[in-house]
Amino acid sequence: MPNLLQNTIDKLDNKSAKIGIVGLGYVGLPLMLRYVDVGYSVLGFDIDAVKVSKLNQGETYIEHIPATKIAAARQNLFEATTDFGRIGECEAVILCVPTPLNKYREPDMSFVINTTDAVKPYLRAGQVLSLESTTYPGTTEEELLPRAQESGLVVGENIFLVYSPEREDPGNPHFETRTIPKVIGGHTPACLQAGLALYRPAIDQVVPVSSTKAAEMTKLLENIHRAVNIGLVNEMKIVADKMGIDIHEVIDAAATKPFGFVAYYPGPGLGGHCIPIDPFYLTWKAREYGVNTRFIELAGEVNSAMPDYVVSKVALALNDNHQSIKDSRILVLGIAYKKNVDDMRESPSVMIMERLRDLGAQVAYSDPHVPVFPQMREHHFTLSSETLTAENLASFDCVILATDHDKFDYDLLKQHARVLVDTRGKYQGQHDRVIKA
């Protein structure tokens, strides 16, 4: 069906194609804004009626995506809907849904499978179907391919299947959707051609690879590379601390080497929807091939142990003040998983809070990006963000700097916290009442 492929490419090239984006979160919304910016009409799909209503009213629910941008897109080329029956209006359908782990640290593919099942009755000839969710190699072939062909469509002939992993870094001012190169793998050469036509107008650099499996593995390698190196530096931090050495001083010195070294920084654990989760997608799939990924799993163990390491540091700091964790008032600074965003997915700060609460502490938090502790599937606190004043800081037995937001007044913290446990290396050198963790 070369004419059908060319017709799809032509519609994408001349921007008469409507783009469908399924999943309007940290990945889907920036992608929508980018397609609108370059002149495409975008139809956004989500099962959350509250989110859809907000978007259609020009409102936002992600801090670093301004409502003004949503409102401008809404007035021009964007509409959100919960009606999957409208999938047929779109020339391209891009799936941007979560891929978490279940309680056994195995891939939870329910979002991908359920979304594909919701989309498949409305797929039609000439469409491009793209999966962006991070997943194990083989997902596109094993889960999307048979579902796309259930109604008689043939992938590579009259419908085109691609995998193109998201590479969003929420809150990073140096990169945006347009400037982050896009890896694209197609199920067939025709699929790849359609995928390139879909993404090329919106992304400065597209990077074709030989298959959907290669694209899936590329995303996992990127995130495993980061997870393993963070695991290494977290372990180095523990060793350095025992030796009385400041690991941040060491990293800064090592980073002056102009080749062969990349600086990674330790912290209270790993957060976000990628680095703590994605390595386990590969370790799970590797077992099917009889491969035991010991190196990757060891890094996961080290990183998963960091919240407990922080709690042990808190216990020692309180002990020096003749106190125990039980009945102590402890303030956690920053509950987003990284600085300057409101994203709390897999945040190690929340894990620290839970451990302290289980040990009998009275836990509070302060985060300028998260005014009220949100409803979460697995974590439950009824708390609001504390105002940071000299008097309030001094009322806590211990303050933990868990996420180093730029909005914090670090001089105020240092002056008025009775004990300040620094998990981010914000305070270089020795300071009274500052404990490095």
Provide the terminal-to-terminal Cα distance of the chain, rounded to the nearest Å.
61
Distance of CA 133 to the CA centre of its chain: 11
Element spanning 89, H or E: none
Element spanning 112, H or E: helix 110-119
- The one catalytic residue among 90, 191, 274, 398: 274
Nearest alpha-carbon partner for 196 in 40, 148, 188: 188
Strand partners, 128: 92, 160
Tokens standing for 330?
């402890």
User: In terms of DSSP H, where are the helices of 243-389?
Assistant: 247-254, 278-288, 294-304, 306-320, 348-358
Q: Which residue has the tokens 């959707």?
A: 177
Is residue 274 annotated as a catalytic residue, yes or no?
A: yes
Task: Classify residue 155 by its DSSP letter.
Answer: B
* C-alpha to C-alpha distance for 352 and 313, rounded to whole angstroms: 11
Q: How far is CA 117 from CA 154, 156, 163, 191, 204, in A?
A: 17, 20, 17, 20, 32
- Active-site positions read 274
